[in-house]
Amino acid sequence: MILPPVILVNEQDEPVGTMEKLEAHQKGLLHRAFSVFVVNSAGEMLLQQRALDKYHSGGLWTNTCCSHPLPGEETLAASHRRLVEEMGFDCPLEEIFSFTYRARFDNGLTEYEFDHVLVGTYNGAVTPDQAEVQAHRFLPLDSIRALLKEEPGTFTHWFHLAFPKIADYLEQARK
Protein backbone atom coordinates (compact mmCIF):
# COMPACT_ATOMS: atom_id res chain seq x y z
CA MET A 1 0.00 0.00 0.00
CA ILE A 2 1.53 3.32 -1.09
CA LEU A 3 0.30 6.26 0.97
CA PRO A 4 0.83 9.98 0.26
CA PRO A 5 3.98 11.67 1.59
CA VAL A 6 4.22 13.44 4.93
CA ILE A 7 6.32 16.46 5.82
CA LEU A 8 9.28 15.50 7.99
CA VAL A 9 10.08 18.22 10.53
CA ASN A 10 12.52 19.01 13.31
CA GLU A 11 11.49 19.71 16.92
CA GLN A 12 10.63 23.33 15.97
CA ASP A 13 8.26 22.12 13.20
CA GLU A 14 10.64 23.27 10.47
CA PRO A 15 10.45 21.08 7.34
CA VAL A 16 13.49 18.85 6.76
CA GLY A 17 12.14 16.66 3.94
CA THR A 18 9.29 14.40 2.89
CA MET A 19 8.67 10.67 3.04
CA GLU A 20 5.89 8.24 2.14
CA LYS A 21 3.53 8.09 5.14
CA LEU A 22 3.84 4.37 5.91
CA GLU A 23 7.64 4.49 5.69
CA ALA A 24 7.75 7.49 8.07
CA HIS A 25 5.63 5.51 10.56
CA GLN A 26 7.77 2.38 10.12
CA LYS A 27 10.93 4.40 10.81
CA GLY A 28 9.32 6.49 13.56
CA LEU A 29 10.43 9.82 12.08
CA LEU A 30 9.05 13.14 13.33
CA HIS A 31 6.48 14.56 10.90
CA ARG A 32 3.78 17.24 10.81
CA ALA A 33 0.21 16.28 11.68
CA PHE A 34 -3.01 17.93 12.80
CA SER A 35 -5.95 17.01 15.01
CA VAL A 36 -9.33 18.73 14.57
CA PHE A 37 -11.79 18.92 17.47
CA VAL A 38 -15.31 20.07 16.57
CA VAL A 39 -18.04 20.93 19.07
CA ASN A 40 -21.67 21.90 18.57
CA SER A 41 -23.34 24.96 20.10
CA ALA A 42 -24.34 22.83 23.12
CA GLY A 43 -20.65 22.24 23.85
CA GLU A 44 -20.72 18.57 22.87
CA MET A 45 -17.64 17.24 21.08
CA LEU A 46 -17.91 15.28 17.84
CA LEU A 47 -15.97 12.03 18.18
CA GLN A 48 -15.26 9.49 15.47
CA GLN A 49 -14.53 5.81 15.79
CA ARG A 50 -11.75 5.02 13.34
CA ALA A 51 -12.54 2.42 10.68
CA LEU A 52 -11.37 -1.05 11.64
CA ASP A 53 -8.98 -1.38 8.70
CA LYS A 54 -7.01 1.84 9.36
CA TYR A 55 -3.26 1.20 9.36
CA HIS A 56 -3.15 1.79 13.12
CA SER A 57 -5.63 2.46 15.94
CA GLY A 58 -8.53 0.94 13.98
CA GLY A 59 -11.79 0.82 15.93
CA LEU A 60 -10.64 3.35 18.55
CA TRP A 61 -12.52 6.54 19.37
CA THR A 62 -10.80 9.84 18.76
CA ASN A 63 -11.27 13.50 17.86
CA THR A 64 -13.35 14.65 14.90
CA CYS A 65 -10.58 14.12 12.35
CA CYS A 66 -6.82 14.01 12.08
CA SER A 67 -4.26 13.59 9.34
CA HIS A 68 -1.14 15.08 7.79
CA PRO A 69 -0.71 18.06 5.47
CA LEU A 70 0.70 17.23 2.05
CA PRO A 71 4.04 18.72 1.01
CA GLY A 72 3.44 22.36 0.09
CA GLU A 73 0.02 22.43 1.81
CA GLU A 74 -0.64 24.72 4.77
CA THR A 75 -1.82 22.93 7.92
CA LEU A 76 -5.05 24.95 8.12
CA ALA A 77 -5.92 24.18 4.48
CA ALA A 78 -5.16 20.49 5.05
CA SER A 79 -7.39 20.49 8.14
CA HIS A 80 -10.34 21.84 6.14
CA ARG A 81 -9.66 19.37 3.29
CA ARG A 82 -9.59 16.35 5.59
CA LEU A 83 -12.62 17.49 7.59
CA VAL A 84 -14.63 17.44 4.35
CA GLU A 85 -13.07 14.16 3.16
CA GLU A 86 -13.50 12.28 6.45
CA MET A 87 -16.64 13.81 7.99
CA GLY A 88 -18.48 15.37 5.05
CA PHE A 89 -18.63 18.97 6.30
CA ASP A 90 -16.47 22.02 6.86
CA CYS A 91 -16.50 24.79 9.47
CA PRO A 92 -14.26 27.63 10.63
CA LEU A 93 -11.19 26.32 12.47
CA GLU A 94 -8.71 27.95 14.82
CA GLU A 95 -5.36 26.49 15.88
CA ILE A 96 -5.23 26.39 19.69
CA PHE A 97 -1.88 24.73 20.43
CA SER A 98 0.60 22.17 19.17
CA PHE A 99 2.50 19.36 20.85
CA THR A 100 4.87 16.53 20.01
CA TYR A 101 4.18 12.94 20.94
CA ARG A 102 5.52 9.48 20.21
CA ALA A 103 3.51 6.26 20.40
CA ARG A 104 4.53 2.74 19.36
CA PHE A 105 1.83 0.35 18.16
CA ASP A 106 1.58 -3.43 18.31
CA ASN A 107 1.92 -3.63 14.51
CA GLY A 108 5.44 -2.15 14.67
CA LEU A 109 4.46 1.35 13.51
CA THR A 110 5.39 4.48 15.46
CA GLU A 111 3.54 7.77 15.48
CA TYR A 112 6.07 10.52 16.11
CA GLU A 113 4.21 13.68 15.33
CA PHE A 114 4.38 17.42 15.70
CA ASP A 115 0.60 17.76 16.08
CA HIS A 116 -1.24 21.03 15.42
CA VAL A 117 -4.54 21.07 17.35
CA LEU A 118 -7.48 22.98 15.84
CA VAL A 119 -10.98 23.60 17.15
CA GLY A 120 -14.22 24.57 15.42
CA THR A 121 -17.97 24.73 15.99
CA TYR A 122 -20.53 23.01 13.76
CA ASN A 123 -24.23 22.18 14.10
CA GLY A 124 -25.17 20.60 10.76
CA ALA A 125 -25.30 17.15 9.23
CA VAL A 126 -22.33 14.80 9.52
CA THR A 127 -21.82 12.36 6.62
CA PRO A 128 -18.55 10.51 7.23
CA ASP A 129 -16.58 8.49 4.69
CA GLN A 130 -17.23 4.86 5.69
CA ALA A 131 -13.68 3.89 4.63
CA GLU A 132 -12.33 6.29 7.27
CA VAL A 133 -14.98 6.34 10.00
CA GLN A 134 -16.85 3.41 11.54
CA ALA A 135 -19.12 5.54 13.75
CA HIS A 136 -19.48 9.05 15.15
CA ARG A 137 -21.27 10.78 18.00
CA PHE A 138 -21.51 14.07 19.88
CA LEU A 139 -20.81 13.76 23.61
CA PRO A 140 -20.64 16.25 26.49
CA LEU A 141 -17.11 16.87 27.78
CA ASP A 142 -17.91 15.31 31.19
CA SER A 143 -19.10 12.12 29.49
CA ILE A 144 -15.85 11.96 27.53
CA ARG A 145 -13.83 12.46 30.73
CA ALA A 146 -15.72 9.58 32.34
CA LEU A 147 -15.16 7.30 29.35
CA LEU A 148 -11.44 8.11 29.29
CA LYS A 149 -11.25 6.92 32.92
CA GLU A 150 -13.58 3.92 32.59
CA GLU A 151 -12.52 2.69 29.14
CA PRO A 152 -9.10 4.22 28.36
CA GLY A 153 -8.22 1.50 25.85
CA THR A 154 -11.09 2.52 23.56
CA PHE A 155 -9.45 5.90 22.72
CA THR A 156 -6.41 6.78 20.61
CA HIS A 157 -3.13 7.67 22.26
CA TRP A 158 -3.12 11.25 20.96
CA PHE A 159 -6.70 11.86 22.12
CA HIS A 160 -5.66 11.13 25.72
CA LEU A 161 -2.90 13.74 25.38
CA ALA A 162 -4.82 16.52 23.64
CA PHE A 163 -8.30 16.23 25.17
CA PRO A 164 -7.57 17.72 28.64
CA LYS A 165 -6.12 20.92 27.15
CA ILE A 166 -8.89 21.22 24.54
CA ALA A 167 -11.58 20.60 27.18
CA ASP A 168 -10.09 23.32 29.42
CA TYR A 169 -9.98 25.72 26.46
CA LEU A 170 -13.61 25.00 25.50
CA GLU A 171 -14.87 25.35 29.08
CA GLN A 172 -13.04 28.69 29.51
CA ALA A 173 -14.47 29.93 26.19
CA ARG A 174 -18.03 29.14 27.32
CA LYS A 175 -17.69 31.26 30.50
Q: How many CB atoms lie within 10 A of CB 21?
A: 18
Q: Residue type at 93? A: L
Tell me whether residue 65 is one of the annotated catalytic residues.
no
Helix, strand, or coil (residue 146): helix
Q: Which among 86, 91, 111, 113 is annotated as catalytic?
A: 113
d(CA 164, CA 156): 14
Tell me whether residue 94 is one of the annotated catalytic residues.
no
| Pairing relationship of beta strands 31-39 and 110-121 according to DSSP bridges | parallel
Chain centroid to CA 105: 16
Q: Which among 66, 86, 91, 111 is annotated as catalytic?
A: 66
60 in Cβ contact with 135 (< 8 Å)? no
Q: Which of 60, 61, 98 is nearest to 79 (CA)?
A: 98
Q: What is the DSSP letter of 51?
A: P
Q: How many CB atoms lie within 10 A of CB 11?
A: 8
Active-site residues, by number, are: 66, 113
